[in-house]
Amino acid sequence: MFKRAILFEAALVCASAQVLSDQDEYPEFKEAMASWGYAWEAHKITTDDEFILTTFHITGLTTGNDGQENEVLNIRRKDYMPVVLMNGSACDAVSWVAEPPGRGVAKPLPLKLYDDGFDVWLAANRGTKYCQEHTTLDVTQPEFWDWSWAEMGLYDDTANIKFIKEQTGMPKVSYLGVSQGTVQMFYALTHIEDSFLKDNLFTFAALDPCTIAASEGDEMYKHGLLHFQDEGVFAFNGPNWDSDLQKICDTFPQDACDYAQA
């Protein structure tokens, strides 16, 4: 496994910290959930390798969808089966609920799961918009981006499972991943099924399962994507994306530039 080999779309968006965060820190998620009429809370979770993640917990329904403080109609009881959802590449927890209700818009899967009696938690991986914190590093340091879906499975997934177990008191947690969210769990199952997952994971639902996006062909990786880090570019849509994109287009073949702009 090569760290930094696969770059992740970062700005689209531990089981130690027990801190509830101010909802105003997450304006996109706050607006989306208000439009659908669901109550929620945000938790900071620190992984064993010291990345600080934000995971959202659906806690009930609200009296309206006007974005104002509304009465919560019901609070999810702790005897409901917890399920954590992990997004795919170029997405984060907000992506599940970002499309507002309207004509022809189906209710998002996490909200359907809540309606059907699950205790729903929306996770996101390191590097995404609300997961760009670390106990000692910041996003301007190359070391902050020195990871791949291997660490996402070994640390981000396990941190969320541990935390949710602690919060709910349930013996196991179900996991639903989509695309990249399945890759990291496949990796985790390969390496820590016996030591951790068999005792803590109830079910794993893999939506749009995959291993690596190779539709661009080998040349894109050999002469482009795998070498972005050599030029100091560690994440698509990262904190220095304007200058990073220019560097890619100035340094690499046109197809790499087009790929980065897609």
- Domain membership of residue 155 (yes or no) is yes
- Domain membership of residue 75 (yes or no) is yes
Which H or E run includes 45? strand 38-46
Tell me: do 42 and 89 sit in the same domain: yes
Would you say residue 249 has pLDDT above 50?
Answer: yes
Tell me: do 82 and 201 sit in the same domain: yes
Tell me: do 220 and 208 sit in the same domain: no
- Domain membership of residue 124 (yes or no) is yes
Tell me: do 148 and 256 sit in the same domain: no
Backbone phi, then psi, for 6, in 5-degree steps? -105, 120
Question: Residue 194 in contact with residue 201, Cβ under 8 Å?
Answer: no
Got the DSSP string for 51-114?
EEEEEEEEEEEBS-SSSS---B-----TTSPEEEEE--TT--GGGGT-SPS-TTPPPPHHHHHH
pLDDT of residue 65: 54
The range of the structural domain enclosing residue 254 comes to 215-262
Higher-scoring residue by pLDDT: 120, 91: 120
Tell me: do 24 and 74 sit in the same domain: yes
Tell me: do 157 and 41 sit in the same domain: yes
CATH number of the domain to which 142 belongs: 3.40.50.1820
Tell me: do 99 and 127 sit in the same domain: yes
- Domain membership of residue 219 (yes or no) is yes
Tell me: do 163 and 42 sit in the same domain: yes
Binned at pLDDT 50, 70 and 90, residue 4 comes out as very low
Helix, strand, coil tally for the chain in percent (to 5): 40, 20, 40
- Domain membership of residue 221 (yes or no) is yes
Written as one letter, the residue type at 207 is L
* 204-230: pLDDT as tens digits: 999 999 876 555 566 667 777 778 888
Which domain-ending residue is among 188, 213, 238?
Answer: 213
Kindly calculate the radius of gyration of the chain based on its CA atoms and give it in whole angstroms: 19
Low-confidence winner among 92-101, 174-183, 214-223 (lowest mean pLDDT)? 214-223
Residue with tokens 């050999």: 222
Tell me: do 118 and 207 sit in the same domain: yes
Tell me: do 116 and 237 sit in the same domain: no
Domain count, the chain: 2
- Domain membership of residue 237 (yes or no) is yes
- Domain membership of residue 37 (yes or no) is yes
Tell me: do 102 and 197 sit in the same domain: yes
Q: What single DSSP character describes residue 62?
A: B
- Domain membership of residue 3 (yes or no) is no
Tell me: do 121 and 195 sit in the same domain: yes
